[in-house]
Amino acid sequence: MSKPLKFGHRGAKGHIAENTTESIIKAIELGVDGIEIDVHKCKSGELIVFHDFTVDRLTDGTGEVSNFTLSELKAFNVLEHFKIPTLTEILDLIDEKCIINIELKGRNTAFETVAIINKYIEYSGWEYSDFIISSFQNKELTDVYNSDKNIPLGVLTKANLDEAIDFAKTINAVAIHPNFSLLSKNNVQKAQEQGYKINTWTVNTPQAVKRMKSYNVNAIIGDFPDRL
């Protein structure tokens, strides 16, 4: 099997503030095959790239992401020096240089994400294979599947690989995205024999990277893309 693809987790989270344009640029400079980001819908309707459901951990603000408009979110400072980007700003920055894994973190993000993907495919030369949509939220993945069955889907799990595969069958997902601690050589092989790619997260230590490679996973998602 070929070497696993290298995915930068929230850009290059281990080097620069996660999910920022600067972090995405760093990941691209480090030669990633793909970048994983998270999206929420803000109060004014735009999809913003941010992990947490509140702004408290990463910014100088406080409160739930969904309660702020885009202009209000843009006024916050991420770890003092950075700004919260929109999904379209990140897509324009990546510009087909690598795959983008969009995790639907917030509720009601599916339909707007599908609309944006369709726009970039129709007008900007992107292809479906440039995208993968993942989520822990089964409803969001089901909404994407019902909206556009061509968009590649990945089922996130940190608890049970078999349950994730059972759900993946209902939405014709192409991949399972398990936490690396769930994996063994046997269950990776079993999932792949059923037709699923295994894209695992968040793999940061040299020992864990080596072990995931020995399991022949399809992609490794890490905070330090240069370690992959």
Average pLDDT across the chain, whole number: 98
For residue range 83-96, list pLDDT tens digits in order. 999 999 999 999 99
Instruction: List, in sequence order, every beta strand (DSSP E) within the chain.
Output: 5-9, 34-41, 47-49, 99-104, 131-135, 153-157, 175-178, 197-200, 219-222
pLDDT above 70: percentage of residues in the chain = 100
pLDDT number for residue 2 = 81
Cβ neighbours of 143 (radius 10 Å):
19
pLDDT number for residue 226 = 97
Going from N- to C-terminal start, the domains of the chain cover 5-227
**Please, which residues bridge with residue 196 across strands?**
none
For residue range 2-51, list pLDDT tens digits in order. 899 999 999 999 999 999 999 999 999 999 999 999 999 999 999 999 99
* Residue partners of 25: CB distance under 8 A and separation at least 6: 11, 93
pLDDT number for residue 126 = 98
pLDDT number for residue 153 = 99
**Please, which residues bridge with residue 102 across strands?**
37, 133
pLDDT number for residue 25 = 98
For residue range 59-78, list pLDDT tens digits in order. 999 999 999 999 999 999 99
For residue range 176-198, list pLDDT tens digits in order. 999 999 999 999 999 999 999 99
How is residue 62 written in tokens? 């406080």
Which CATH architecture does the domain made up of 5-227 adopt?
Alpha-Beta Barrel (3.20)
- Cite the active site residues: 9, 51
For residue range 134-157, list pLDDT tens digits in order. 999 999 999 999 999 999 999 999
Q: How far apart are CA 83 and CA 71, in angstroms?
A: 11
pLDDT number for residue 96 = 96
pLDDT number for residue 1 = 61
Is-above-0.85 flag for pTM? yes
Q: How far apart are CA 11 and CA 188, in angstroms?
A: 25
Q: How far apart are CA 119 and CA 126, in angstroms?
A: 9
